[in-house]
């Protein structure tokens, strides 16, 4: 994405503006350039190759570059810059925090939030001023919907059990950030997100599945439980309900289609290894059920799937 941001052209920075504006208008009509924001363009070929997240990041750089002074980016925009995952689509505007006395006026692809900030709640990332990761997660938990807020919080808390990168923050740090902001609008909703978030959810798909299980009313599973048999270590189960002898696995398409996730194996080899793994788990006396994104994101589909696997709803 960085090369895309560097490829932005700001008309205000060029000479002979009138002629240049007309040239860029012609380039937009031909598809050679894309107008990202007023007076800001990016090569059309590059734009068409970008993911939705990278397009939103380009928009953020474009809007930030047109401000008279560097803005403090927040909420969804800060989340994108910090690399937090989104469920659904990124908003069509750039979010920034303005002084509490300024008012929350929104126009021209900019959404303003009139909120107070402490000095240590602002950091610099890729040359942009953004709310800190802790402040961003709490802001999104207070303002956003429960499911995407939990996905972001899980991602921030995630701890690599294989000894890779450390978690970006801890629950204690999130709670301290929440406490220092008290009282604030959405504080109860934010606390629910922080309390529900975990460090051992390995992907947005696993987080979405867990949230929807909770909303439907299924028993809370144990997460990332290791299993072994007489042959040795089998692996970690995404979800485990010991009282129902049920193991659940949430698998995205990347596991099969992305070579980076297959560790050099073919799709056939991945499927054979998966079958052997499940047979070993079943030999221990457990049932195993799998689902994908389409099932995880739909309450009705997930309810039907887990019911068919023998998982009852909680007694309310």
Burial of 237 (0-12, 13-18, 19+ CB in 10 A): buried
Q: Which of 30-34, 71-75, 128-132 has the lowest mean pLDDT?
A: 30-34
Confidence of residue 256 (pLDDT cuts 50, 70, 90): low
154-196 pLDDT tens trace: 999 998 877 677 899 999 999 999 999 999 999 999 999 999 9
Confidence of residue 218 (pLDDT cuts 50, 70, 90): very high
pLDDT exceeds cutoff 80 at 219: yes
Confidence of residue 79 (pLDDT cuts 50, 70, 90): very high
Confidence of residue 6 (pLDDT cuts 50, 70, 90): confident
Q: What is the pLDDT of residue 266?
A: 78
Tell me what the pLDDT averaged over the chain comes to.
90
Confidence of residue 257 (pLDDT cuts 50, 70, 90): low
46-58 pLDDT tens trace: 999 999 999 999 9
Q: What is the pLDDT of residue 268?
A: 80
- Tell me which of 142 and 254 has the higher pLDDT: 142
Q: How many CB atoms lie within 10 A of CB 258?
A: 10
Q: Which of 231-235, 250-254, 300-304 has the lowest mean pLDDT?
A: 250-254
Task: Report the C-alpha gap between 81 and 75 in whole angstroms.
Answer: 10
pTM above 0.85, yes or no: yes
pLDDT exceeds cutoff 80 at 19: no
Confidence of residue 260 (pLDDT cuts 50, 70, 90): low
Mean pLDDT along residues 73-80: 98
Q: What is the pLDDT of residue 133?
A: 98
80-106 pLDDT tens trace: 999 999 999 999 999 999 987 766 677
pLDDT exceeds cutoff 90 at 274: no
Confidence of residue 3 (pLDDT cuts 50, 70, 90): low
Q: What is the pLDDT of residue 104?
A: 63
């Amino acid at each position: 994405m960085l090369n895309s941001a560097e490829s932005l052209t700001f008309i205000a920075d060029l000479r002979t503006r009138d002629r240049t504006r007309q040239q860029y208008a012609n380039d937009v009509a031909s598809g050679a350039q894309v107008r990202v924001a007023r007076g800001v363009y990016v090569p059309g070929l590059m734009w068409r190759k970008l993911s939705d997240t990278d397009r939103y990041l380009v928009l953020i750089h474009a809007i930030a570059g047109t401000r008279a002074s560097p803005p403090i980016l927040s909420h969804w925009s800060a989340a994108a810059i910090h690399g937090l995952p989104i469920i659904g689509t990124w908003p069509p505007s750039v979010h920034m925090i303005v002084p509490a006395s300024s008012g929350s006026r929104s126009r021209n692809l900019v959404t303003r939030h009139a909120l107070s900030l402490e000095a240590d709640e602002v950091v610099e990332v890729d040359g942009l001023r953004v709310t800190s990761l802790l402040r961003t997660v709490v802001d999104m938990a207070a303002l956003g919907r429960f499911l995407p807020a939990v996905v972001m919080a899980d991602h921030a808390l995630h701890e690599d059990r294989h000894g890779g990168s450390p978690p970006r923050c801890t629950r204690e740090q999130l709670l301290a950030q929440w406490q220092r902001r008290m009282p604030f609008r959405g504080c109860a909703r934010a606390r629910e997100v922080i309390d529900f978030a975990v460090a051992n959810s390995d992907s947005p798909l696993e987080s979405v599945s867990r949230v929807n299980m909770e909303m439907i009313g299924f028993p809370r599973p144990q997460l990332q439980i290791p299993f072994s048999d007489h042959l040795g270590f089998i692996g970690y189960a995404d979800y485990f309900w010991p009282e129902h002898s049920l193991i659940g696995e949430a698998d995205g398409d990347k596991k099969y289609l992305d070579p980076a996730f297959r560790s050099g194996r073919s799709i056939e080899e991945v499927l054979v290894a998966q079958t052997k793994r499940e047979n070993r788990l079943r030999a221990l006396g457990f049932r195993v059920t799998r689902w994908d994104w389409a099932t995880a994101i739909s309450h009705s589909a997930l309810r039907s799937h887990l019911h068919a696997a023998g998982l009852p709803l909680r007694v309310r």
